[in-house]
Amino acid sequence: MTVITRFAPSPTGSLHVGNIRAALHNWMFGQRHGGRFVLRIDDTDAERSEERFVDGIRADLAWLGLTPDLEVRQSERFALYQARFDALVAAGRIYPAYESAQELDLKRKILLGRGLPPVYDRAALALGDADRARLEADGVRPHWRFKLDHDAPITWDDLIRGPQAFDAKTMSDPVIRRADGSWLYMLPSAIDDADLGITHVVRGEDHVSNTALQLQMFEAMGVAPPRFAHEALLTGTEGKLSKRLGSLGVAHFRDEGIEPQAVIVLLARIGTSDPVEPVVDPAPLIAAFDFARFGRAPARFDEGELAQVNARIVHQLPFAAVADRLPAGMGAAEWDAVRPNLARVAEAADWWRVIEGPIDAPTMDDETRGYLVQAAAVAGTIDWAGDPWHALTGALKAATGRKGKALFLPLRQALTGLDHGPDMAALLPLIGRERAVARLSAAG
């Protein structure tokens, strides 16, 4: 069996971090088993779907490296839905219902007031042909419901949650089509999964009851359902479902200087028993992907942790991976020198300005200025072809007796204008003899 997974976003807005996690896990599972990954654009809601969001979804997945093997759009598959719909109507598994939204709401309130679950009472099934004809003659157009089999237990072995069981009698027959003919999510999704041969679906635990309903739809269509994995929902740092998570997406991450590898690393592992490890290549993450490692507890998404992972990713990025984002003239040697001090690639520009100058050296006391005048003289005489930093500090230590912070810190301050930064042994050759001598002299 070829594993086929899918990600099915609605183009009614931008992807948020929860969507991205679902896409990633479907993609990873497919990759783990040498399978295929399908992008299904759920654009049945013509009023809310926008092409700019479709383009955005594609761009976001591309930025993350989650390349689909196939893309389909529900808006182009209405003929397939209609054929399945007609067959299920003929089989008695879909029926018309004529209650208005207000009538249904009143029924729900009455049941809740009696302490009963608000389950639809199937009043529409009691209507005869004459009743339906009279309603339609009065201009009442029906919505359509899928008729659950109350005698069939709904069970499945969830890949994360384990054995699941639902009693169809406690569930309302789901509305699958509106009175205006437009489709709701449930049936088209099941039809697509069947038609595209989807074998596994990873989605949030908020879809568990949808799965229970859809399993009966697969059975009614006479097709085997996919295997389902319902993962715990993401929570914010406050330990509960966070509205902020709904606003965090690729645009936010890019604006914050977050690398796609950092997003992948964190979302691949939070909610599992595995440690978050900053790897640039997702291959080890894919090789270790296993639903048995996922827990039932909410998965905590922490932007602070993401920033830490990002810094550790940046420290591993080769020059070729970042060259097009670095300042003009900055080469591999400069990147390798400053990379260990970066939290984001964009910060390399700050160190490029330190290398190129001009810099603002701090004010020194008289003794330190004298030391720097001496350092400027020594810097003009050492061999810059080898290791000028250790040649400079070694000569100054011998001449002045300084050591430790008193030896090194004034030199760093005069040469970079800062108290901290990249290893000076790597940075000084990039600053070069001429600039170094000038900076030491200016600070002295």
Point out the domain boundary residue: 141, 161, 177.
Answer: 177
* Residue 397 domain flag: yes
* Residue 283 domain flag: no
Strand ranges of the sheet holding 143-146, from the earlier edge strand across to the other edge: 94-97, 143-146, 175-177
Q: Is 11 within 8 Å of 31 (Cβ atoms)?
A: no
For residue 164, the enclosing domain spans 80-177
- For residue 189, how many C-alpha atoms fall within 13 Å in the half-sphere facing its CB? 20
| Whether 189 and 172 share a structural domain | no
* Residue 342 domain flag: no
99: CATH: 3.90.800.10
* Residue 338 domain flag: no
Greatest extent of the chain over all pairs of C-alpha atoms, in Å: 110
Q: What mean pLDDT is predicted for residues 270-282?
A: 93
Q: Is 333 within 8 Å of 386 (Cβ atoms)?
A: no
| Whether 91 and 156 share a structural domain | yes
Whether the model clears a pTM of 0.85, i.e. scores above it, the answer is yes
What b/e sequence results for 122-158 when a residue is b if at least 16 CB atoms lie within 10 Å of its CB, and e otherwise?
eebeebeeeeeeebeeeeeebbbbbbbeeeeebebeb
Rounded CA-CA distance 396/372 in Å is 10
Question: H helices of 315-423, where?
Answer: 319-322, 332-338, 348-356, 366-379, 388-400, 404-416
Give residue 298's pLDDT.
Answer: 86
**Residue 240 in this model has a pLDDT that exceeds 80:** no
Q: Structurally, how many domains does the chain consist of?
A: 3
Rounded CA-CA distance 176/172 in Å is 12
| Whether 197 and 223 share a structural domain | yes
Q: Is 244 within 8 Å of 237 (Cβ atoms)?
A: no
* Residue 114 domain flag: yes
| Whether 46 and 62 share a structural domain | yes
Q: Which residues does residue 203 pair with via DSSP β-bridges, in sequence order?
A: 230
Q: What mean pLDDT is predicted for residues 124-151?
A: 96
**Residue 244 in this model has a pLDDT that exceeds 80:** no
| Whether 189 and 132 share a structural domain | no
pLDDT in tens, 381-406: 999 999 999 999 999 999 999 999 99
| Whether 90 and 67 share a structural domain | no
Point out the domain boundary residue: 158, 177, 196.
Answer: 177
| Whether 92 and 162 share a structural domain | yes
Strands (E), 198-349: 200-204, 227-231, 234-235, 299-300
| Whether 10 and 149 share a structural domain | no
The closest of 360, 327, 338 to 427, measured between CA atoms, is 338
Give residue 418's pLDDT.
Answer: 93
Give residue 361's pLDDT.
Answer: 82
pLDDT in tens, 218-230: 999 999 999 999 9
| Whether 393 and 424 share a structural domain | yes
Using CA atoms in the order 148, 151, 157, 162, what is the torsion angle rounded to 10 degrees? 100
Q: Mean pLDDT of all residues in the chain?
A: 95
Q: Is 169 annotated as contributing to ligand binding?
A: no
| Whether 119 and 166 share a structural domain | yes
Question: H helices of 124-184, where?
Answer: 129-137
- For residue 154, how many C-alpha atoms fall within 13 Å in the half-sphere facing its CB? 23
Q: Is 398 within 8 Å of 374 (Cβ atoms)?
A: no
390: CATH: 1.10.10.350
* Residue 345 domain flag: no
pLDDT level of residue 241 (50, 70, 90 thresholds): low
Q: Is 203 within 8 Å of 231 (Cβ atoms)?
A: yes
pLDDT in tens, 80-120: 999 999 999 999 999 999 999 999 999 999 999 999 999 99
| Whether 120 and 195 share a structural domain | no
Point out the domain boundary residue: 177, 212, 247.
Answer: 177
* Residue 335 domain flag: no
| Whether 436 and 386 share a structural domain | yes
pLDDT level of residue 10 (50, 70, 90 thresholds): very high
DSSP designation for 272: B
Q: How many CB atoms lie within 10 A of CB 424?
A: 20
pLDDT level of residue 246 (50, 70, 90 thresholds): confident
Q: Is 66 within 8 Å of 24 (Cβ atoms)?
A: yes
* Residue 41 domain flag: yes
